Structure 1
Amino acid sequence: MNFGPSDETDLLIFQNYFSPSRHAIFEELGKDRKLVVMYLQSGVDEGRRWVEETPKNYVARRIPTRQIAKVVLPVGHLGLPKKAEVALMVDNNPTNVAMLLLARTVKGIAGRTYLWVEHIPDPSKGQGKTLYQTMTSRGLLRFNDGAASFSAMSDRYLASLGYEGVIRRIPQVVPAPELGAARRRVQTLRRFGYLGSGVARKNVSALRTAVDAILHPDLTLYLAGYDPVDIWPREIACGYIAGLELEAFFNDIDVLVLPSIIDPWGLVVNEALMRGRLVIVSEFCGSSEIVAQIDPRLVCGLTSFEIQAAIEYAISLSTSEVDDRLRRARNVMEGFTVVAAADAFRRL
Structure 2
Amino acid sequence: MRARTGAGLGLWLAPVLLAATILIGTAVGETPLTLSTVFRTLANHFWQADYPVDAIDAGIVWSYRFPRAIVAACCGAGLALTGVVLQALLRNPLADPYLMGLSAGASTGAVLVAVAGVGGGAVSMSMGALTGALLAFGCVVALAHAASGAAGGGRATQAAAAMILAGIAGSQMFNALTAFTIARSANAEQARGIMFWMMGNLSGIRWEDVAPCAAVSLAGGALCLWHRRGLDAFTFGTHGAASLGINVPVLRGSLIAATAIMVGVLVSKVGAIGFVGLVVPHAMRFLVGARHDRLVPASALAGAVFLVAADVISRILVAGQVLPIGVVTALVGAPAFALVLLRGART
TM-score by length of 1: 0.23
RCO (CA 8 Å, sep 6+): is it higher in 1 or 2?
2
TM-score by length of 2: 0.23
